[in-house]
Structure 1
Amino acid sequence: MNSNDYNSYLNLKGNKTVDFALSEIKFWQNKYDKSPTQTSYLNKIAAYYSLLFEQTGNIEDLHKAENLLIESNKKLNYKDVGSLRSLARNYITQHRFKEALTLAEKAYQIGEKLHETHKLLFDVQMELGNYEKAKESLKAIYDINDFDYLIRLAKWNDHKGDLNTAISIMENASRMTEKLDNKSLMTWSYSNLGDMYGHAGKINDSYDYYLKTLNLDSNNSFALKGLAWIAFSHEKNTKEAKRILEIVSKKHNSPDFYLLKAEVAEYEKDFASQKKYLHDYFMMLDSNNYGVMYNKYNALLFSEENKKLDEAFKIANQEISNRPTPQSYDLLAWAYFKNGESEKALKIVNEHVVKKSFEPEVMFHLASIYKANNLLNEVKPIKKELESSIFELGPNMSAKIQSL
């Protein structure tokens, strides 16, 4: 990494996208105040509040969007498929997946614009772990020349553990956006490719695509966070990682940054700072209404602190109720493992996790549970796989993987 490549993005004053969203909110609010029967104006205002949330991380903007969309749907008697889908997408962002599914199914029953509703159904069913139903919706939107189909096909292949195919499909989708010269879709596909290349260990490609993202969207916090992760996980340059995180976290106020800062502090063996950042993380959750959005992180953190295992069990079970995915069952199995109940943990992963998730973090938990149950032949191939995923997992995991 060369800081000259991205310093200009870190030193930006202001955010043009935020300014634009605020001016559009004001414009459409004035129009709505004059014509309160024009429900479509509410949806436009909601869309710009959602854009504000993406840019700043301010959860209140997401809730404002939700309230406007609820108002819009009430006025339309929950019979407008576009408004139903918009509210469902808001709920997906909030991890309220069952509520999102109810709205998606309502839109499907109305029967208009089913192609768009199938895209939403695919997204929701994937989040809920209903993979066969997701596959049905994917088949229903089949069109090799459609960007929305390609990005979902990429997600499907990634879910199956075929990252190389997922990347190849996403590259095709990215080229499509370039032909269309669609800036927002280009930004989205570039940032996702940056992430996927990182997972595949192609760090230079990851770096290049994060820079391409920033060239289109100078304040893109996902890409800037990606650069911080490369500095930390690949280059072990904690000073640069901290510099980037400090600047970005002031622009995009999200609990994620405290977790990343805590991870860097742990690597530096600065345990006082690590403790402070985790405290700040929980304080931020307490003072804002994030709902269940950070359940996964909380369950894992509470599992690591053996005094709070009751909380870990509670959250894991809540997650299974909300979204019975392999990842949710992994949280429960990990809590049992940390509680010294390795056989219970093994039973859960055998039933709900094995060959159903290929995420490195889940695979590390699986290998640890196998080892505790003396299934050493099962550990070896996973350990080899994990060694090639060390960039994604982070340097703090290196010693843990070696000890498997």
Structure 2
Amino acid sequence: MKFSISVFISILLLSCQGEPNFTSNPADYNDYLAAERPQTTSRYFELWNSKITPDSLETLSFAVVSGEYNRYFQATGKVEYLKKAEQALERAVEVANIDKEAYIRSLARNYISQHRFPEALELAHKANDLYPGSKENRALLFDVHMELGNYDEAKRNLDSIQNMSDFGYLIRNAKWNDYRGDLDTTIRFMEKALARAESSGKRSLQLWSYTNLADYYGHAGRIQDSYEFYLKALEIDPQNAYAKKGIAWILFSYERKPQEAMRILDAIDQGYQSPDLWLLRAEIAEFMGNIPESKDYMFKFHKAADHPAYGVMYNVPEVDYYLEELSDYDKAFELAAEEVSNRPTPESYELLARVLLKQGQKQQALVLVRDNILGKTHEPGILLTAAEILNATGNHKEALVLKEELEGAVYELGPASERKIRSL
């Protein structure tokens, strides 16, 4: 599935025929669709929030309140909670005399959630200057450098915190191997991390592990396992929108049950509001042949994502919107160039290359593919664009090599990719 800030994939995927006996059952998840709306306040929150005054110096209050705001953001998808968490953390950093680097790290992670990666890196270095070489600081540096595409730096920081008994190290090693395209090793590390999470008894770690393993299992063609782990996540948190969306993706992309997938999305929308839900609705509507409805969903996505509070969080799908829906190549180029400046990863260069191809600048697009994509990523969506550009510039043999790698990626990319891959 490919809808979050953050997602994990491999080109070594199995086709939809990998588990012919898998069949979902609405009885497995119907009760979760009727879950109550998430709570966005509590006596605990109100107690600590009441301690905050304009001249407050109590950093613990800011830390607790920011944590609650972040939890509300995760539960509702409403970006205003993420921004309120940012404000509380900025105040904590300003007034803290003790454990200042911990508050700086928390603020950096908030910036990561907002896709403000260069700013997050500045904060990571600032925290490391205060407490050089700590495990927590190096873990943060790994996370930020991975987001920025500084893979050598990321690996150096990962190696410096090696500990096969540590949950944080295990999940980061899983992410590193996913980047390398080694899905089997990725899953092994995540399964080790899950064992640590379960032995800890911490629900938040278990929930995170279940949803991430569900993603990885799906990418490996283990649809039954993926489905069951999303259900495990819902057992812990019946309101978890990410797990419900994961089930919707299985129904849509694997079972080809678009109406049932749409029903799940409609249920999610009762308590969780995020622009990416409109994107998935648009994809499903297009698959069903309802083009006017698909375009309407894309417009609703654009209106939601255009809110100033989101900043650059939705630049990637916004490029698609301007490119495919409005044919506004200048605006698409502007956003793609901004994304490259903010986050010079293969994903960002793929955006820019796609815009250049649409503008008829095929050779310039090919230069980006050769310099910044080929050999630097195993992401099927990026490689599909690379193959299309190779074909468009007459490099058909190279495109065919990528086609062979992509033929098993239909589940990850979605049903619409079948036609594109066949045409390579």
Q: Given the two structures, how large is their TM-score scaled by the length of structure 2?
A: 0.91
Q: Who is 1:159 aligned against?
A: 179
Runs (4+) of structure 1 exceeding 6 A deviation are none
CA distance in 2, matches of 1:353, 1:34: 49
Distance 1:174 1:210 in 2: 14
* One-letter amino acid matched to 1:254: S
Q: Which one-letter code corresponds to 1:174 in the other structure? A: L
Query: What's 2:33 paired with?
Result: 10
Match for residue 201 of structure 1?
Answer: 221
Q: Is the 8 A contact 2:295 2:325 kept in 1?
A: no
Post-superposition offset of 1:70: 0.9
Q: Is 2:301 the partner of 1:278? A: no
Matches within 5 A, 1:182-197: 182-197=202-217
How far apart are 1:33 and its partner, in Å? 4.7
1:9: Cα distance to partner?
Answer: 0.5
Q: Tell me what 2:350 maps to.
A: 330
1:127 aligned to 2:147? yes
Q: Is the 8 A contact 1:333 1:346 kept in 2?
A: yes
Task: Using the TM superposition, give the Cα deviation of residue 7 of structure 1 relative to its aligned residue in structure 2, in angstroms.
Answer: 0.6
Q: Which residue of 1 aligns with 2:8?
A: none
C-alpha separation between the residues in 2 aligned to 1:336 and 1:35?
52
SS at match of 2:269: helix
Per-residue CA deviations over 1:77-109 (Å, capped at 9, x if unaligned) read: 797101100110000000001111111100001
Unaligned runs of 5+ in 2: 1-23
Residue aligned with 2:270, SS: helix
Q: Distance in 2 between matches of 1:50 and 1:113?
A: 27
- CA-to-partner distance for each residue in 1:276-332, whole Å, 9 max, x for gaps? 111111111234520000001111232324721111111111011101111111111
1:249 equivalent in alignment to 2:273: no
Q: How does 1:138-157 map to 2 (within 5 A)?
A: 138-157=158-177
Deviations along 1:382-401, one digit per CA (max 9) or x if unpaired, are 11221211001001111111
* Greater fraction of residues in helix: 1
Per-residue deviation at 1:337?
1.3
> Matched residues in 1 for 2:221 and 2:361: separation?
34
How do 1:193-272 residues align onto structure 2 when only pairs under 5 Å count?
A: 193-272=213-292
Question: 1:242: Cα distance to partner?
Answer: 0.7
Q: Distance in 2 between matches of 1:96 and 1:170?
A: 27
Quote the offset at 1:36 in angstroms. 2.8
Match in the other structure for 1:380: 400
Amino acid at match of 1:219: Q
* Counterpart mapping for 1:364-403 below 5 A: 364-403=384-423
Q: Percent identity among equivalent residues?
A: 43
Is the CA contact 2:158–2:172 (under 8 Å) kept in the aligned structure 1?
A: yes
Whether 1:111 and 2:136 are equivalent positions in the alignment is no
Letter in 2 for 1:39: T
Q: CA RMSD in A?
A: 1.7
Task: For residue 394 of structure 2, give the secondary structure of its aligned residue in structure 1.
Answer: coil
- How many residues are treated as equivalent by the alignment? 401
The answer for the alignment partner of 1:352 in structure 2 is 372
1:307 aligns to what SS in structure 2? Answer: coil
Mapped to 2, the partners of 1:334 and 1:64 lie a distance apart of 36
TM-score computed with the length of structure 1 as normaliser: 0.96
Aligned to 1:23: 43
Once the two structures are TM-superposed, the CA of residue 251 in structure 1 deviates from its matched residue by: 1.2
* Cα distance in 1, alignment partners of residues 97 and 392 from structure 2: 55
Contact 1:187 1:216 in 2 (8 A): yes
- For 2:338 and 2:42, the matched residues in 1 are separated by 36
Deviations 1:18-55 (A, max 9, x none): 35x53322111123459933122111101100010000
Per-residue deviation at 1:273? 0.6
Aligned: 1:310 with 2:310: no
**Which structure has the higher relative contact order (CA within 8 Å, separation 6+)?**
2
Alpha-carbon distance in structure 2 between the residues aligned to 1:323 and 1:189: 26
Residues in 2 aligned to 1:28 and 1:137: alpha-carbon distance in whole angstroms: 35
List runs of 5+ in structure 1 lacking aligned partners. Answer: none
State whether residues 323 and 355 of structure 2, in contact with CA within 8 Å, keep that contact through their aligned partners in structure 1. yes
Look up the equivalent residue of 2:37 and give its one-letter code. Answer: G
